[in-house]
A = this chain, B = another copy of it.
Amino acid sequence: MAIKAIDLRRYEARAKIAKAMAHPSRLLMLDLLQKKSHTVTELTAIVGADQSTVSKHLSILRDVGLVDVRREGAMSYYQLKCACLDGFFSCIETVLMADLACRRDALK
């Protein structure tokens, strides 16, 4: 039985989005932005990293269409562009909890 190689292109675009989310600081920011929009300064204080670092993280989220910017004077208000993070987080959460339970069992 000949197994055909599948075209990976379909998954590349999706992986790019997943990759943008796959960083602790960016996950935190996405989580924060679920509640309300924030400025770079606010996010910088909360994340506790360099301002330039946070700005770059935000541009990564922006590039894949996860967040949006609204400029007001000198400040940039970042806001979530999709209301779909619940599914994402709950999936991650499920995996995490299952894994913790598994490790707990292994200690018995």
Contact = CB atoms under 8 A, between A and B. Distances in A.
Contact of A86 (B24, B42, B46, B87): B87
A81 B102 CA distance: 11
Given A42-B3, A91-B87, A18 B22 contact: yes
Interface residues of A, number: 48
Contact of A18 (B8, B27, B31): B27
Interface in A15-37: 15, 17-19, 21-28, 31
B87 A3 contact: no
Interface of A: 3-6, 8, 11-15, 17-19, 21-28, 31, 42, 45-48, 64-66, 81-82, 84-96, 98-99, 102
